[in-house]
Chains A and B, each alone.
Chain A
Amino acid sequence: MAQEQSRQHPIRLYMVAWGLLFVLSTFSYLVDYLGIQGYPRWSLIIVFMLLKAGLIIAIFMHLAWERLVLIYVILLPPVLVLVFAALMASESNYTILSRLTFLGAGS
Protein backbone atom coordinates (compact mmCIF):
# COMPACT_ATOMS: atom_id res chain seq x y z
CA MET A 1 0.00 0.00 0.00
CA ALA A 2 1.25 3.47 -0.85
CA GLN A 3 0.72 4.60 2.72
CA GLU A 4 2.98 1.89 4.13
CA GLN A 5 5.74 2.77 1.68
CA SER A 6 5.57 6.42 2.62
CA ARG A 7 6.24 5.58 6.26
CA GLN A 8 9.37 3.58 5.55
CA HIS A 9 11.91 6.20 4.58
CA PRO A 10 15.55 5.52 5.26
CA ILE A 11 16.99 7.35 8.28
CA ARG A 12 19.40 8.99 5.86
CA LEU A 13 16.60 11.19 4.48
CA TYR A 14 16.05 12.73 7.92
CA MET A 15 19.77 13.16 8.44
CA VAL A 16 20.02 15.07 5.14
CA ALA A 17 17.04 17.28 6.06
CA TRP A 18 18.53 17.86 9.50
CA GLY A 19 21.89 18.81 7.99
CA LEU A 20 20.25 21.20 5.52
CA LEU A 21 18.29 22.84 8.36
CA PHE A 22 21.55 23.33 10.27
CA VAL A 23 23.22 24.91 7.25
CA LEU A 24 20.22 27.17 6.54
CA SER A 25 20.05 28.25 10.20
CA THR A 26 23.75 29.08 10.10
CA PHE A 27 23.14 31.16 6.98
CA SER A 28 20.29 33.08 8.58
CA TYR A 29 22.41 33.70 11.67
CA LEU A 30 25.26 34.89 9.45
CA VAL A 31 22.91 37.48 7.91
CA ASP A 32 22.83 39.12 11.33
CA TYR A 33 26.45 38.34 12.26
CA LEU A 34 27.84 39.90 9.09
CA GLY A 35 25.57 42.92 9.54
CA ILE A 36 23.85 42.80 6.14
CA GLN A 37 21.27 45.61 6.09
CA GLY A 38 18.31 46.85 4.06
CA TYR A 39 16.64 44.89 1.26
CA PRO A 40 19.39 42.23 0.95
CA ARG A 41 18.90 41.45 4.68
CA TRP A 42 15.12 41.20 4.48
CA SER A 43 15.11 39.10 1.32
CA LEU A 44 17.79 36.73 2.68
CA ILE A 45 15.86 36.31 5.96
CA ILE A 46 12.65 35.49 4.06
CA VAL A 47 14.37 33.09 1.66
CA PHE A 48 16.10 31.11 4.42
CA MET A 49 12.92 31.14 6.53
CA LEU A 50 10.79 29.73 3.69
CA LEU A 51 13.38 27.08 2.82
CA LYS A 52 13.54 25.94 6.46
CA ALA A 53 9.75 25.95 6.81
CA GLY A 54 9.43 23.98 3.57
CA LEU A 55 11.89 21.32 4.72
CA ILE A 56 10.17 20.91 8.09
CA ILE A 57 6.67 20.70 6.60
CA ALA A 58 7.55 18.50 3.61
CA ILE A 59 10.05 16.05 5.14
CA PHE A 60 9.67 16.07 8.92
CA MET A 61 5.89 16.48 8.93
CA HIS A 62 5.57 14.10 5.95
CA LEU A 63 3.22 16.43 4.09
CA ALA A 64 5.04 15.74 0.82
CA TRP A 65 3.71 12.16 0.92
CA GLU A 66 0.13 12.94 1.92
CA ARG A 67 -2.79 13.05 -0.48
CA LEU A 68 -3.19 16.35 -2.31
CA VAL A 69 -6.44 17.18 -0.50
CA LEU A 70 -4.70 17.30 2.91
CA ILE A 71 -1.87 19.41 1.48
CA TYR A 72 -4.35 21.95 0.10
CA VAL A 73 -6.55 22.02 3.20
CA ILE A 74 -3.53 22.69 5.43
CA LEU A 75 -1.45 25.02 3.24
CA LEU A 76 -4.02 27.20 1.48
CA PRO A 77 -5.75 28.83 4.51
CA PRO A 78 -2.50 30.23 5.99
CA VAL A 79 -1.86 31.97 2.66
CA LEU A 80 -4.86 34.16 3.49
CA VAL A 81 -2.87 35.48 6.47
CA LEU A 82 -0.89 37.39 3.82
CA VAL A 83 -4.06 39.31 2.92
CA PHE A 84 -4.46 40.17 6.61
CA ALA A 85 -0.79 41.24 6.67
CA ALA A 86 -1.36 43.56 3.70
CA LEU A 87 -4.39 45.12 5.42
CA MET A 88 -2.47 45.67 8.65
CA ALA A 89 0.55 47.09 6.83
CA SER A 90 -1.69 49.64 5.17
CA GLU A 91 -3.39 50.40 8.49
CA SER A 92 -0.01 50.81 10.23
CA ASN A 93 1.15 53.27 7.58
CA TYR A 94 -1.99 55.30 8.21
CA THR A 95 -1.42 55.16 12.00
CA ILE A 96 2.19 56.33 11.85
CA LEU A 97 1.25 59.08 9.39
CA SER A 98 -1.45 60.32 11.79
CA ARG A 99 0.95 60.15 14.73
CA LEU A 100 3.58 62.13 12.86
CA THR A 101 1.05 64.68 11.61
CA PHE A 102 -1.03 65.29 14.73
CA LEU A 103 1.03 64.13 17.72
CA GLY A 104 4.40 65.55 16.74
CA ALA A 105 7.34 63.47 15.54
CA GLY A 106 9.17 61.32 18.03
CA SER A 107 6.80 61.84 20.94
Chain B
Amino acid sequence: MTASMERPASDPSLRPTGLRGVAADLSSDQRAFKNVSWGKAMMWIFILSDIFIFGCFLLAYMSARMSTTVAWPNPSEVFALTIGGKDIPLILIAIMTFVLISSSGTMAMAVNFGYRRDRRKTAALMVVTALLGATFVGMQAFEWTKLIGEGVRPWENPWGAAQFGSTFFVITGFHGTHVSIGVLFLLIIARKVWRGDFDQERRGFFTSRKGHYEIVEIMGLYWHFVDLVWVFIFAFFYLW
Protein backbone atom coordinates (compact mmCIF):
# COMPACT_ATOMS: atom_id res chain seq x y z
CA MET B 1 0.00 0.00 0.00
CA THR B 2 1.25 3.44 -0.86
CA ALA B 3 0.89 6.17 1.69
CA SER B 4 -1.46 8.13 -0.56
CA MET B 5 -4.10 5.40 -0.38
CA GLU B 6 -4.42 5.76 3.38
CA ARG B 7 -5.08 9.46 3.44
CA PRO B 8 -8.57 10.62 4.36
CA ALA B 9 -10.98 10.35 1.46
CA SER B 10 -12.73 13.52 2.50
CA ASP B 11 -9.93 15.71 1.23
CA PRO B 12 -9.67 15.20 -2.54
CA SER B 13 -6.65 17.49 -2.85
CA LEU B 14 -4.61 14.82 -1.05
CA ARG B 15 -5.66 12.02 -3.38
CA PRO B 16 -3.49 10.80 -6.28
CA THR B 17 -4.03 12.46 -9.62
CA GLY B 18 -4.01 11.22 -13.22
CA LEU B 19 -4.76 7.64 -14.21
CA ARG B 20 -3.51 6.41 -10.83
CA GLY B 21 -6.16 8.67 -9.31
CA VAL B 22 -8.87 7.18 -11.56
CA ALA B 23 -7.92 3.67 -10.43
CA ALA B 24 -7.70 4.74 -6.78
CA ASP B 25 -11.08 6.51 -6.87
CA LEU B 26 -12.92 3.70 -8.64
CA SER B 27 -11.48 1.02 -6.36
CA SER B 28 -11.88 3.03 -3.16
CA ASP B 29 -14.25 2.42 -0.31
CA GLN B 30 -17.86 3.70 -0.28
CA ARG B 31 -17.78 6.34 -3.00
CA ALA B 32 -16.01 6.78 -6.33
CA PHE B 33 -16.59 10.51 -6.91
CA LYS B 34 -14.71 11.97 -3.99
CA ASN B 35 -15.36 15.67 -4.24
CA VAL B 36 -18.77 15.44 -5.89
CA SER B 37 -21.95 15.35 -3.81
CA TRP B 38 -24.50 12.59 -4.43
CA GLY B 39 -26.89 15.12 -5.97
CA LYS B 40 -24.37 16.24 -8.57
CA ALA B 41 -23.18 12.69 -9.28
CA MET B 42 -26.76 11.54 -9.83
CA MET B 43 -27.46 14.44 -12.19
CA TRP B 44 -24.36 13.47 -14.18
CA ILE B 45 -25.54 9.86 -14.36
CA PHE B 46 -29.01 10.98 -15.40
CA ILE B 47 -27.36 13.09 -18.13
CA LEU B 48 -25.34 10.08 -19.26
CA SER B 49 -28.54 8.03 -19.62
CA ASP B 50 -30.23 10.90 -21.48
CA ILE B 51 -27.24 11.06 -23.83
CA PHE B 52 -28.03 7.47 -24.81
CA ILE B 53 -31.70 8.30 -25.38
CA PHE B 54 -30.91 11.19 -27.71
CA GLY B 55 -28.07 9.16 -29.23
CA CYS B 56 -30.56 6.43 -30.15
CA PHE B 57 -32.97 8.99 -31.63
CA LEU B 58 -30.25 10.46 -33.79
CA LEU B 59 -29.09 6.98 -34.82
CA ALA B 60 -32.66 6.02 -35.80
CA TYR B 61 -32.80 9.24 -37.85
CA MET B 62 -29.47 8.39 -39.50
CA SER B 63 -30.64 4.88 -40.37
CA ALA B 64 -33.95 6.15 -41.79
CA ARG B 65 -32.25 8.81 -43.85
CA MET B 66 -29.50 6.51 -45.15
CA SER B 67 -31.81 3.67 -46.11
CA THR B 68 -34.64 5.49 -47.86
CA THR B 69 -34.80 5.42 -51.66
CA VAL B 70 -36.92 8.60 -51.70
CA ALA B 71 -35.13 11.95 -51.66
CA TRP B 72 -34.81 13.57 -48.21
CA PRO B 73 -36.50 17.01 -47.94
CA ASN B 74 -33.94 19.84 -47.92
CA PRO B 75 -34.05 21.27 -44.36
CA SER B 76 -32.49 24.50 -45.59
CA GLU B 77 -35.63 25.16 -47.67
CA VAL B 78 -38.16 23.52 -45.34
CA PHE B 79 -37.13 25.74 -42.41
CA ALA B 80 -36.70 28.93 -44.46
CA LEU B 81 -38.73 31.98 -43.48
CA THR B 82 -39.82 34.83 -45.71
CA ILE B 83 -38.75 38.07 -44.08
CA GLY B 84 -39.27 41.31 -46.00
CA GLY B 85 -40.15 39.44 -49.17
CA LYS B 86 -36.89 37.48 -49.08
CA ASP B 87 -36.44 33.79 -48.33
CA ILE B 88 -33.79 33.37 -45.63
CA PRO B 89 -32.74 29.73 -45.14
CA LEU B 90 -32.96 28.19 -41.67
CA ILE B 91 -33.26 31.61 -40.01
CA LEU B 92 -35.73 30.57 -37.30
CA ILE B 93 -33.52 27.67 -36.26
CA ALA B 94 -30.49 29.97 -36.14
CA ILE B 95 -32.34 32.40 -33.86
CA MET B 96 -33.47 29.49 -31.64
CA THR B 97 -29.82 28.37 -31.39
CA PHE B 98 -28.71 31.84 -30.28
CA VAL B 99 -31.54 32.06 -27.75
CA LEU B 100 -30.61 28.70 -26.21
CA ILE B 101 -26.89 29.53 -26.10
CA SER B 102 -27.70 32.83 -24.40
CA SER B 103 -29.78 30.99 -21.81
CA SER B 104 -26.78 28.73 -21.15
CA GLY B 105 -24.63 31.82 -20.65
CA THR B 106 -27.01 33.35 -18.11
CA MET B 107 -27.30 29.97 -16.36
CA ALA B 108 -23.51 29.69 -16.03
CA MET B 109 -23.44 33.15 -14.45
CA ALA B 110 -26.31 32.22 -12.12
CA VAL B 111 -24.25 29.25 -10.88
CA ASN B 112 -21.28 31.55 -10.33
CA PHE B 113 -23.33 34.07 -8.32
CA GLY B 114 -24.91 31.19 -6.43
CA TYR B 115 -21.53 30.15 -5.07
CA ARG B 116 -20.88 33.77 -4.10
CA ARG B 117 -24.18 33.54 -2.18
CA ASP B 118 -25.54 36.52 -4.09
CA ARG B 119 -29.22 35.67 -3.67
CA ARG B 120 -30.75 38.39 -5.85
CA LYS B 121 -28.43 38.11 -8.85
CA THR B 122 -28.70 34.32 -8.83
CA ALA B 123 -32.49 34.35 -8.80
CA ALA B 124 -32.67 37.11 -11.42
CA LEU B 125 -30.30 35.29 -13.78
CA MET B 126 -32.26 32.06 -13.34
CA VAL B 127 -35.50 33.84 -14.23
CA VAL B 128 -33.80 35.30 -17.33
CA THR B 129 -32.66 31.78 -18.24
CA ALA B 130 -36.22 30.49 -17.80
CA LEU B 131 -37.58 33.31 -19.98
CA LEU B 132 -35.08 32.53 -22.75
CA GLY B 133 -36.02 28.84 -22.45
CA ALA B 134 -39.71 29.69 -22.72
CA THR B 135 -38.92 31.84 -25.78
CA PHE B 136 -37.19 28.84 -27.33
CA VAL B 137 -40.20 26.58 -26.71
CA GLY B 138 -42.49 29.29 -28.10
CA MET B 139 -40.47 29.48 -31.31
CA GLN B 140 -40.53 25.70 -31.54
CA ALA B 141 -44.33 25.75 -31.21
CA PHE B 142 -44.42 28.32 -34.04
CA GLU B 143 -42.20 26.07 -36.17
CA TRP B 144 -44.39 23.02 -35.51
CA THR B 145 -47.55 25.00 -36.35
CA LYS B 146 -46.00 26.25 -39.59
CA LEU B 147 -44.87 22.76 -40.65
CA ILE B 148 -48.15 21.08 -39.72
CA GLY B 149 -49.94 23.81 -41.70
CA GLU B 150 -47.77 22.96 -44.70
CA GLY B 151 -48.84 19.32 -44.44
CA VAL B 152 -45.99 17.66 -42.53
CA ARG B 153 -47.24 14.57 -40.68
CA PRO B 154 -45.34 11.71 -39.03
CA TRP B 155 -46.35 9.55 -42.00
CA GLU B 156 -46.09 12.00 -44.93
CA ASN B 157 -44.90 15.38 -46.10
CA PRO B 158 -45.13 17.27 -49.39
CA TRP B 159 -41.39 17.22 -50.17
CA GLY B 160 -40.04 13.68 -49.99
CA ALA B 161 -39.20 10.84 -47.62
CA ALA B 162 -42.01 10.23 -45.12
CA GLN B 163 -39.52 9.52 -42.31
CA PHE B 164 -38.66 13.22 -42.28
CA GLY B 165 -41.85 14.01 -40.36
CA SER B 166 -41.61 11.18 -37.86
CA THR B 167 -37.97 11.84 -36.94
CA PHE B 168 -38.58 15.60 -36.83
CA PHE B 169 -41.52 15.36 -34.44
CA VAL B 170 -39.89 12.79 -32.15
CA ILE B 171 -36.47 14.46 -31.90
CA THR B 172 -37.56 18.10 -31.59
CA GLY B 173 -40.58 17.09 -29.49
CA PHE B 174 -38.43 15.23 -27.00
CA HIS B 175 -35.96 18.09 -26.87
CA GLY B 176 -38.73 20.66 -26.44
CA THR B 177 -40.14 18.60 -23.56
CA HIS B 178 -36.73 18.66 -21.92
CA VAL B 179 -36.58 22.45 -22.29
CA SER B 180 -40.10 22.85 -20.87
CA ILE B 181 -39.31 20.69 -17.84
CA GLY B 182 -36.09 22.69 -17.43
CA VAL B 183 -38.06 25.96 -17.38
CA LEU B 184 -40.32 24.61 -14.59
CA PHE B 185 -37.30 23.29 -12.68
CA LEU B 186 -35.59 26.69 -13.07
CA LEU B 187 -38.58 28.63 -11.78
CA ILE B 188 -38.97 26.36 -8.75
CA ILE B 189 -35.29 26.71 -7.77
CA ALA B 190 -35.27 30.44 -8.57
CA ARG B 191 -38.18 30.91 -6.15
CA LYS B 192 -36.28 29.06 -3.42
CA VAL B 193 -33.17 31.17 -4.03
CA TRP B 194 -35.19 34.39 -4.03
CA ARG B 195 -36.94 33.47 -0.77
CA GLY B 196 -33.53 32.83 0.81
CA ASP B 197 -34.11 29.14 1.51
CA PHE B 198 -30.41 28.38 1.10
CA ASP B 199 -29.28 31.24 3.34
CA GLN B 200 -31.68 30.37 6.16
CA GLU B 201 -31.21 26.60 5.60
CA ARG B 202 -34.97 26.27 5.38
CA ARG B 203 -36.11 22.66 5.12
CA GLY B 204 -37.65 21.51 1.85
CA PHE B 205 -41.40 21.01 1.59
CA PHE B 206 -41.07 17.54 0.13
CA THR B 207 -37.82 16.14 1.52
CA SER B 208 -37.56 18.05 4.85
CA ARG B 209 -33.85 18.41 4.14
CA LYS B 210 -31.81 21.59 4.15
CA GLY B 211 -31.09 22.95 0.69
CA HIS B 212 -27.77 24.33 -0.49
CA TYR B 213 -26.70 26.65 -3.26
CA GLU B 214 -25.27 23.55 -4.95
CA ILE B 215 -28.75 22.84 -6.33
CA VAL B 216 -28.23 25.83 -8.64
CA GLU B 217 -25.18 24.10 -10.09
CA ILE B 218 -27.05 20.79 -10.43
CA MET B 219 -29.90 22.63 -12.15
CA GLY B 220 -27.27 24.27 -14.35
CA LEU B 221 -25.89 20.88 -15.41
CA TYR B 222 -29.34 19.86 -16.65
CA TRP B 223 -29.84 23.15 -18.47
CA HIS B 224 -26.44 23.04 -20.19
CA PHE B 225 -27.16 19.46 -21.21
CA VAL B 226 -30.36 20.60 -22.95
CA ASP B 227 -28.26 23.17 -24.81
CA LEU B 228 -25.68 20.49 -25.61
CA VAL B 229 -28.30 18.20 -27.16
CA TRP B 230 -29.50 21.09 -29.31
CA VAL B 231 -25.96 21.50 -30.69
CA PHE B 232 -26.13 17.92 -32.00
CA ILE B 233 -29.72 18.22 -33.27
CA PHE B 234 -28.84 21.48 -35.03
CA ALA B 235 -25.81 19.88 -36.70
CA PHE B 236 -27.32 16.55 -37.71
CA PHE B 237 -30.97 17.31 -38.34
CA TYR B 238 -31.06 20.91 -39.57
CA LEU B 239 -27.66 21.43 -41.20
CA TRP B 240 -26.75 18.00 -42.59
Would B105 and A45 count as touching, CB distance under 8 A? Answer: no
Which of A53, A73, A99 lies in contact with B232, CB distance below 8 A?
A53
B15-34, CB < 8 A from A: 15, 17-19, 21-22, 25-26, 32-34
Task: Report the separation of the CA atoms of residues A53 and B68 in the bound assembly, to the nearest whole angstrom.
Answer: 29
Whether B231 contacts A52 by the Cβ 8 Å rule is yes
Q: Mark A32-54, 1 if CB is under 8 A from B, else 0.
A: 11000000011001101100110
Q: Given A25-B101, A61-B221, A103-B69, do A78 and B228 touch, yes or no (CB 8 Å)? A: no
How far, in angstroms, from A32 to B104 measured CA to CA in the complex?
24
Within 8 A of B (CB), among A13-28: 14-15, 17-18, 21-22, 25, 28
Cβ–Cβ < 8 Å partners of B51 in chain A? 77-78, 81
Secondary structure of the B side of the interface? helix
- Which of chain B's residues have a CB closer than 8 A to the CB of A28? 234-235, 239
Enumerate chain A residues within 8 angstroms of B34, measured Cβ to Cβ: 67
Q: Say whether, besides A32-B76, A60-B108, A88-B63, A49 and B235 are in contact (CB < 8 Å).
A: yes
Indicate if B157 sits at the interface (CB-CB under 8 A). no
How many residues of chain A have a CB within 8 Å of chain B? Answer: 59
Shortest distance from the beta carbon of B206 to any chain A beta carbon, whole Å:
26
Q: Which residues in A have their C-beta under 8 angstroms from that of B76?
A: 32
- The interface bits of chain B over 26-69 (1 if a CB of A lies within 8 angstroms of the residue's CB, else 0) are 10000011111000010010011001100100010011001111
Known: A74-B44, A78-B51. A85 touches B62 (CB 8 A): yes
A47 to chain B, nearest CB (A): 10
The reply to whether B55 and A81 contact each other, CB–CB distance below 8 Å, is yes
Q: Which residues of B contact A52 (CB under 8 A)?
A: 231
List CB contacts (< 8 Å) of A47-98 with chain B.
48-49, 52-53, 56-57, 59-62, 66-70, 72-74, 77-78, 81, 84-85, 88-89, 91-93, 95-96
Chain B residue total in the interface (Cβ 8 A):
61
**Which of chain A's residues has its CB closest to B88's CB?**
A33
Judged by a CB distance under 8 angstroms, whether B82 is at the interface is: no
| Distance from B184 Cβ to chain A, minimum over Cβ atoms (Å) | 21
Contact between B36 and A66 (Cβ–Cβ < 8 Å)? yes
- The answer to whether A67 and B21 touch across the interface, beta carbons within 8 angstroms, is yes
Interface residues of A (CB under 8 A from B): 1-3, 7-9, 11, 14-15, 17-18, 21-22, 25, 28-29, 31-33, 41-42, 45-46, 48-49, 52-53, 56-57, 59-62, 66-70, 72-74, 77-78, 81, 84-85, 88-89, 91-93, 95-96, 99-100, 103, 105-107
Listed A/B pairs (29) with beta-carbon separation below 8 Å:
A1-B11, A3-B13, A7-B115, A9-B112, A11-B109, A14-B112, A18-B101, A18-B105, A21-B101, A22-B98, A25-B101, A29-B94, A32-B239, A46-B235, A49-B232, A60-B104, A60-B108, A61-B220, A67-B33, A67-B36, A69-B21, A84-B59, A85-B59, A88-B63, A89-B66, A92-B67, A93-B67, A95-B67, A105-B69
